[in-house]
Chain A
Amino acid sequence: MNYVFDPDNWEWVITGNNLRFILEGFAVNLEIAVIAMVLSMIAGLALALARLSRWTPLSIVAGTWIDIWRNLPLIFIILYLYLTIPGSWPAAYEDAIPSWFPEGLQSGRVLAAILGLVLYNSAVLAEIMRAGIQSLDRGQNEAARALGMSYRQSMRHVVLPQGLRRMVPATVSQLITLNKDTTLVSIVAIQEVVRHGRILTGTNFFGGVQAPILQVFLLIGALFIIVNLLLSRLSRRLEIHEQKRTAVGQVKRVRGLEEQAV
Chain B
Amino acid sequence: MGDLISVLTDNLDEFLAGFWVTVRLVVFAFVIAMVVGTLVAALRISPSKGLQRIGGIYVETFRNIPLLVLLFIAFAGLRRAGADIGPWEAGIASLGLYTAAYVAEALRSGVFSVSKGQIEAALSLGFTYRQALRRVVFPQAFRTVISPLGSLIIAMIKNSAIIGVSLLALDDLLKTARTVGSRGFEYTEAFFWAAVGYLILTGLATLTIRVLEKRYAIHR
Using CB atoms and an 8 Å cutoff, list the residues of chain A in contact with chain B.
3-4, 68, 71-76, 79-80, 83-84, 176, 180-184, 186-187, 194, 197, 201, 212-215, 217-218, 220-221, 224-225, 228-229, 255-256, 259-260, 262
Q: Is A76 a contact partner of B191 (Cβ separation < 8 A)?
A: yes
Partner of B152, one of A84, A218, A259: A259
**Is the C-beta of B15 less than 8 angstroms from some C-beta in chain A?**
no
Partner of A260, one of B155, B161, B199: B155
* Chain B residues positioned under 8 Å from A213 (CB to CB): 72, 76-77, 80
Cβ of B93 to closest chain A Cβ, rounded Å: 15
Q: Is A72 a contact partner of B199 (Cβ separation < 8 A)?
A: yes
Within the assembled complex, what's the spacing in Å between the Cα atoms of A255 and B151? 12
* Chain B residues positioned under 8 Å from A214 (CB to CB): 73, 76-78, 80-81
Within the assembled complex, what's the spacing in Å between the Cα atoms of A4 and B61? 17
Known A-B contacts A72-B198, A224-B66; the reply to A229 vs B60 at CB < 8 A is: yes
Q: Is B198 a contact partner of A221 (Cβ separation < 8 A)?
A: no
* Chain B residues positioned under 8 Å from A224 (CB to CB): 64-66, 69
**Is the C-beta of B52 less than 8 angstroms from some C-beta in chain A?**
no
* Chain B residues positioned under 8 Å from A71 (CB to CB): 154, 158, 198-199, 202-203
Known A-B contacts A74-B158, A213-B72, A217-B73; the reply to A259 vs B64 at CB < 8 A is: no
**Is the C-beta of B162 less than 8 angstroms from some C-beta in chain A?**
yes
**Is the C-beta of B131 less than 8 angstroms from some C-beta in chain A?**
no
Q: Is B61 a contact partner of A73 (Cβ separation < 8 A)?
A: no
How many residues does chain B have at the interface if contact means C-beta atoms less than 8 Å apart?
Answer: 50
Known A-B contacts A83-B181, A183-B66; the reply to A4 vs B81 at CB < 8 A is: yes
Since A76-B191, A83-B191, A186-B68 are in contact, a sample of 5 more A-B pairs with Cβ atoms closer than 8 Å, ordered by chain A residue number, is: A79-B165, A83-B178, A180-B67, A214-B76, A260-B151
**Is the C-beta of B99 less than 8 angstroms from some C-beta in chain A?**
yes
Using CB atoms and an 8 Å cutoff, list the residues of chain B in contact with chain A.
60-61, 63-70, 72-73, 76-78, 80-82, 99, 102, 105-106, 147-148, 151-152, 154-162, 165-166, 174, 178, 181, 187-188, 191, 194-195, 198-199, 202-203, 220
Partner of B72, one of A80, A180, A187, A217: A217
* Chain A residues positioned under 8 Å from B199 (CB to CB): 68, 71-72
Partner of B191, one of A4, A80, A256: A80
Partner of A180, one of B65, B147, B152, B188: B65
Cβ of A195 to closest chain B Cβ, rounded Å: 11
Q: Is B69 a contact partner of A75 (Cβ separation < 8 A)?
A: no
Partner of A262, one of B152, B174, B194: B152
Interface pairs A-B: 5 shortest CB-CB: A214-B77, A262-B155, A73-B161, A228-B64, A180-B66
Q: Is A84 a contact partner of B188 (Cβ separation < 8 A)?
A: yes
* Chain A residues positioned under 8 Å from B162 (CB to CB): 73, 75, 184
* Chain B residues positioned under 8 Å from A217 (CB to CB): 69, 72-73, 76-77
